[in-house]
Amino acid sequence: MLKKMKRVPALLLLFAVLLITRCGSNTGAEEPKKVAVIISTLNNPWFVVLAESAAEKARALGYEAKIFDSQNNTALEADHFENALASGYDAILFNPTDADGSVSNVLKAKAADVPVFCMDREVNSTEAATSQILSDSYSGCVAMGKYFVKEMNKKGKYVEILGLVGDNNTWARSKGFHSVVDNYPDLKMVAQQSADFDRNKAMEVLESVLQAHPDIDAVFCGNDAMAMGAYQALVAAGTEDRVKVFGFDGADDVVKSISNGKIAATGMQFPVVMAQTAASYADEYFKGKRDFPQKMPVAVELVKQENVEDYLAGK
């Protein structure tokens, strides 16, 4: 009897251990993996769309997702990476603040075996991120350059307004455009200046250029905000009907301006496609895939007078 009594607690103990182990393994299997969405800035609606689309897609795939705003500050971005790694996030969907400055943050995640998928902006390293999903700005601007030359009948004077000079997209767009336009010697670039992707700065830059070159025929801008600023400067100078303005991004106001003849063309980018692809890649990574392309281009579409109907809101 005494022997039997001794056996009961031992069996109970064994049962309790089995129960705890089972509970533990159940919790591990049911707890969703966590995805951090770290975005350069949420001060610009374009990046808000990028962030929210990435988080929504991650949630739709069954993961927990949280958005971190780096406020265009690489130091704050570094804090977000440290917090994400310390809090046990399993993947990072990342829009960097700085192509060079953000590399060390991505490397920290890599060292912690946390995959990083860059969206829209790249980091200047092919060894850091698991994959980088980027707008094919160069090819988009090749198409833009081709349209530009046709619209200009291969001759005329033009101004180029660049974005941030430290941003890779600025130069990818400029190089793509020039890879076509520079083959036409009668197209003369009379000024090339940066306006930091900013509408007001673009207006000021073009106002000052117009004082020296009032006879320009076209303005090519590295983004749509600057195209709108350039258009304002042309309106102030009374030359908006004669000078053609070309932008890049596919912003709603510029697409509308193309349809009513104010802007000549823009390159439509697809932030939702980039964000959703990054989230899907994270999902595939969790399921064991490892061979991702280092850089995955996302096609940019030329929006012009002839096809603007396809791109007006709701289409």
Partner 1 sequence: MKKRLKYIIAAVVVVLLAYNSVYFEKLSEVKAEAATGKFDAASYAATFWDTKLMPGLNQAVEVNDLMAQLQSDKEAAFKAHSNALGIGNIRYFLIKGEGELSSINENDVTILAMADGEQKPVKIATEFVYGNAVRDALGLVDLNDFSNTMDLNNVSEELNRKIRTEVVPPFRAAAKKGDKVTFIGAIELNKEHLRLDEIEVIPVALEVVKE
- Measured from the CB of residue 86, what is the shortest distance to partner 1 in angstroms? 30
Given the complex with partner 1, which of 70 and 95 has the nearer CB atom?
95
Q: Considering the complex, what minimum distance in angstroms separates the CB of residue 175 from partner 1? A: 8
Q: Closest approach of Cβ 15 to partner 1, in Å?
A: 52
* Residue bearing tokens 């200046």: 193
By beta-carbon proximity to partner 1, the closer residue of 74 and 179 is 179
Contact positions vs partner 1 (CB under 8 A) = 126, 133-134, 136, 138-139, 142-143, 145-146, 149-150, 172, 175-176, 179-180, 270, 273, 277, 291, 293-301, 306-307, 310-311
Chain centroid offset of residue 117 CA: 11
* Angle (CA) 88 91 97, round 5°: 105
Spell out where the chain has E strands: 34-39, 64-69, 91-94, 116-119, 131-135, 156-162, 187-194, 218-221, 244-246, 265-268, 295-298, 301-304
The least distance separating partner 1 from the CB of residue 182, rounded to whole angstroms, comes to 12
Q: Which is nearer to partner 1, 68 or 158 (CB)?
A: 158
Round to whole Å and give the CA distance between 309 and 315: 8
Residue with Cβ nearer partner 1 (183 or 208): 183
Length reported for the chain: 315
Report the alpha-carbon distance of residue 93 to residue 278 in Å, rounded: 6
Q: Can you tell me which residue has the tokens 């192509």?
A: 99
Nearer to partner 1, 59 or 175 (CB): 175
**Shortest Å, Cβ 152 to partner 1:** 13
Considering the complex, state which of residue 65 and residue 303 has its C-beta at the smaller distance from partner 1.
303
Decide whether 46 or 270 has the Cβ nearer to partner 1.
270
Residue 239 CA to chain centroid, in angstroms?
Answer: 33
User: How far, CA to CA in Å, does 314 sit from each of 46, 140, 220?
Assistant: 17, 22, 27
Structure tokens at 179: 């890879």
Return d(Cα 137, Cα 220) in angstroms, integer: 14
Q: Shortest Cβ distance from residue 159 to partner 1 (Å)? A: 22
What's the N-to-C CA distance of the chain in angstroms? 82
Kindly state the smallest distance separating residue 138's Cβ from partner 1, in Å. 5
